[in-house]
Structure 1
Amino acid sequence: MEIKKNPKSNLENYSKIFMQIGLVLALFVTYAAIEKKTYDKVIGDLGVVNMNAEMEEDIPITERVEPVKPKTPPPPTPEKIEVVEDEKEVEETVIESTETDETEAVEVEEIVEVAEVEEVVEDVSFMIIEDVPVFPGCKGNKQQLKDCFSKMVQKHFLRKFDAELPNELGLSPGRKRVSIMFKIDKSGNVVNVQARAPHPKIKEEVLKVMKLLPKMKPGKQRGKPVGVKYSIPFTLLVE
């Protein structure tokens, strides 16, 4: 027995129908998509973000100190200027020239010459003088000249003094001391003779004898002639 197919069950026929339906739907969807109105998407207001609020910092408030300006002194008071009327006579000050004319004689005061003041050098002791006075006839070094000077002064005194005078004056027996002082000046002369003796007559005799000393070579200090003080004691023996 031959089985017959139902035409309604033929799948091939159905596939054609489905394809047509699909095409129609695709066209419809495409058309609907084209015709559909589109609107811009509106984004809701999110609010205003205040950026400055986050950036604000606590700034310390400092007081501004204005520098003190120095006070300017007031301007000087202007001098009062006295206005002189033309009618009033004003005495004019005449300034004369101090220059002299070649033909004018100039009076010159007398020139007084000032004498040079000589340096005053004090007398020096015989004991400390650098260069001792030289008694005539003495030679040698400084010490030899010093010893020779004293020796010659003693010799002069013993030779010139009257040894009998103490006995003639009736002095008591014994030793009598006589002190003699004098100066050899810058010229070498013996001056300012002084003496101390047990009797005025003896003192007078001593002064006379010492003034007979010869002129000497003056002593020097730092190379310059100076006065030299000298003193010597004598002992008189009265029997």
Structure 2
Amino acid sequence: MINDMNDIEIIYDNNQNIEEFNNLEGYFTLISENTLKSKSYNITKLQFPMLNQIPEPEIELIEDELEIEEMVIESAETDKDEEIEMDEIDIEEVAEDLEVPFAVIENVPEYPGCERGSNAEKRKCMSDKIAKFVQRKFNTDLAGDLGLSGRLRISVNFKIDKNGNVTGITSRGPHPRLEKEAARVINMLPKMKPGKHKGKLVIVPYSLPIVFEVQD
């Protein structure tokens, strides 16, 4: 039940039934005192009494009595007339050890006796010379002494450095003694004229398969 308040205007009829509401908004439902029937009304305005205002709390500012020591940063600027001495830095020149594959190098290493001809002809000449050298020097009887037979293959890799020397020899085969023999023979190769690529001396990797067959 809603009683008469200053903030809401309510009009009653003779039977104490609510007939009209003014200054209300929204939708509201009331029950009559006599009939106890529920009625619904369109409310045009609804006002509520003002709540008691809560006073805002007073905030008192208290000055901090702690003393903060100031940091003084001295300027690093120098006078224009003052000379600055710089320690000399030694920069070592690092030589570039470029490696260019034998198949693509512009100027292949020159094996003794292969100085003439085009780059492709020098490449073929060098491969033929190395193959013949290995055939002459390699001890093929070693495989029979080790009890090996059939087709045997030893893969050898080495490099021709910027001075034309053979370095970095590695070998892989069916027996350690065959690997050692292959490395021994390659180490006997003569010094060559180093290869060049784009006008610079470079290191040239080279791979050589040694294949031979031992009869039972």
Which TM-score tier does this pair reach, normalised by the shorter chain?
Answer: 0.5 to 0.7
Structure 2 gap segments, 5+ residues each: 1-77
Please report how far the alpha carbon of residue 169 of structure 1 lies from its aligned counterpart in structure 2 after TM superposition: 0.7
Please report how far the alpha carbon of residue 233 of structure 1 lies from its aligned counterpart in structure 2 after TM superposition: 1.2
**Alignment of structure 1 residues 126-205 onto 2, 5 Å:** 126-138=102-114, 139-171=116-148, 173-205=149-181
Please report how far the alpha carbon of residue 126 of structure 1 lies from its aligned counterpart in structure 2 after TM superposition: 0.6
2:139 maps to a residue whose letter is D
Tell me which residue corresponds to 1:15: none
Alpha-carbon distance in structure 2 between the residues aligned to 1:97 and 1:164 = 85
Tell me which residue corresponds to 1:123: 99
**SS of the residue 1:124 aligns to:** coil
Structure 1 gap segments, 5+ residues each: 1-95, 101-105
**SS of the residue 2:162 aligns to:** coil
Alpha-carbon distance in structure 2 between the residues aligned to 1:196 and 1:181 = 9
Please report how far the alpha carbon of residue 184 of structure 1 lies from its aligned counterpart in structure 2 after TM superposition: 0.5
CA RMSD of aligned residues (A): 2.1
2:194 maps to a residue whose letter is P
Structure whose residues are more often helix by fraction: 1
Tell me which residue corresponds to 2:188: 212
Please report how far the alpha carbon of residue 111 of structure 1 lies from its aligned counterpart in structure 2 after TM superposition: 2.5
Please report how far the alpha carbon of residue 107 of structure 1 lies from its aligned counterpart in structure 2 after TM superposition: 9.3
1:194 maps to a residue whose letter is T
* Shift >2 Å, 4+ stretches: 96-100, 106-113, 115-118
Return the index of the structure with the highest Cα Rg.
1
2:128 maps to a residue whose letter is K
Please give the per-residue CA displacement for 1:4-32, whole angstroms capped at 9, x wherever unaligned.
Answer: xxxxxxxxxxxxxxxxxxxxxxxxxxxxx
* Number of residue equivalences: 137
Change (3 A) 1:97 1:154: closer
Q: How much identity, in percent, do the aligned residues show? A: 41
**SS of the residue 1:125 aligns to:** coil
Please report how far the alpha carbon of residue 223 of structure 1 lies from its aligned counterpart in structure 2 after TM superposition: 1.1
Structure whose residues are more often strand by fraction: 2
Please report how far the alpha carbon of residue 112 of structure 1 lies from its aligned counterpart in structure 2 after TM superposition: 3.3
Alpha-carbon distance in structure 2 between the residues aligned to 1:164 and 1:140 = 37
